[in-house]
Amino acid sequence: MYYNSILETIGNTPLVRLNELADDIEGTILVKVEYFNPGQSVKDRIGLKMIEDAEEQGLIEPGGTIIEGTSGNTGMGLALAASIKGYNCIFTTTDKQSKSKIDLLRALGAEVKVCPTDVEPDDPRSYYSVAKRLSEEIPNSYYPNQYDNPSNTQAHYESTGPEIWEQTEGNVTHYVAGMGTGGTISGTSKFLKEQNEAIKTIGVDSVGSVYKKYFETGEFDKEEIKPYLTEGIGEDIIPSNMDFNLVDAVIQVNDKNALLTTRDLAKKEGLFVGGSCGAAVYGALEYARNNDFGKDDLMVVILPDSGTRYVSKIFNDEWMAEQGFIDSEE
């Protein structure tokens, strides 16, 4: 057996049980390890889906340019599909993203423009605004806009949700995912709740993001927006892909707990993953310990990407000490 291209290997990622980190919890906690995708992240699923849907709708012609704002992983998914399909790529990202992510995008032939993090979303310098402007200026270009593109949510409704349902033989009771663009949590939750409406969906947010307060009060509070280091989760906008009607609880996790848990996943579980994975697992464990989670319950947590993106940050002792997350003498 062989695959006709690397794109055919996207999806069908494994579920792995958490052992040491969850040894005080009665029920079963499984993690869905998305770095088994060829681009080493969950975003491979939406990169391919958004391009295929754009082709069907005539939104991009052969030889065109794909332009997107990304924290890195969606860019990788888009770049993989673009390299097979013959498109050019221009990505905008923020200066808080790891250099490793930017280098990986350039290795796949993409042009990367780094924009400031600490500006309003509608500021012309923001990575959202720069991507939108370039898509208007460059002919035969396509701006997927993962935040509001329904293909993002649909990719997870068609793949991630059914995989979890089949892999757990329908026994999943809780689903946990980080909240970024909203596609992963919303699309997967929609499918799972259609199979069993009793399944609880828990969203994991970052301290410094607007999501938790918005979920709890319906208020978009700019005062909640603060700088944070965990990449890929939390927002300073409310994307249309983020459907709070499909979420039952939101746990907010600070940088220190997210990144220390990321290191523990490598050391204690052999799972070499990124910072949003640590946030998701920390949030999942907090929820399981503080809610009615019993021996018959089965929780699935999405681990979005690989630790290879963060060697210069999370897995660098000097950087972690500079942030005050570990003792510099350790």
User: What is the reported pLDDT for 155?
Assistant: 98
More confident residue, 101 or 269: 269
What are the tens digits of pLDDT across the range 275-319?
Answer: 999 999 999 999 999 998 999 999 999 999 999 989 989 999 999
| Structure token pair of residue 32 | 């869905």
- Kindly report the pTM of this predicted structure: 0.94
User: What is the reported pLDDT for 272?
Assistant: 98
User: What is the reported pLDDT for 329?
Assistant: 62
| Structure token pair of residue 294 | 């019993």
What are the tens digits of pLDDT across the range 176-188?
Answer: 999 999 999 999 9
| Structure token pair of residue 87 | 């498109």
Work out the number of other CB atoms within 10 angstroms of the CB of residue 316. Answer: 12
Q: Which residues contact 239 (CB under 8 A, 6 or more apart)?
A: 147, 148, 181, 182
Which of 32, 43, 49, 193 is catalytic? The answer is 43
> Which residues are 303's β-sheet partners?
33
More confident residue, 107 or 328: 107
User: What is the reported pLDDT for 330?
Assistant: 54
Among 151, 147, 10, 158, CA closest to 76: 10
* % of the chain residues with pLDDT over 70: 99
Work out the number of other CB atoms within 10 angstroms of the CB of residue 294. Answer: 10
What are the tens digits of pLDDT across the range 34-66?
Answer: 999 999 999 999 999 999 999 999 999 999 999
- The number of helix segments (H) and strand segments (E) in the chain equals 11, 10
What are the tens digits of pLDDT across the range 103-140?
Answer: 889 999 999 999 998 888 889 999 989 999 999 999 99
pLDDT tops 90 at residue 97:
no
User: What is the reported pLDDT for 104?
Assistant: 87
pLDDT tops 90 at residue 191:
yes
- 261, HSE (Cβ side, Cα atoms, 13 Å): 23
Segment 65-72 shows an average pLDDT of: 90
For the chain, list the domains and their CATH numbers.
6-36+150-322 (3.40.50.1100), 43-142 (3.40.50.1100)
Return the SS3 of 25: coil
Q: Does the active-site annotation cover 295?
A: no
Backbone angles phi, psi at 216, to 5 degrees: -80, -30
User: What is the reported pLDDT for 262?
Assistant: 98
DSSP secondary-structure letter at 13?
Answer: P
Return the SS3 of 186: helix
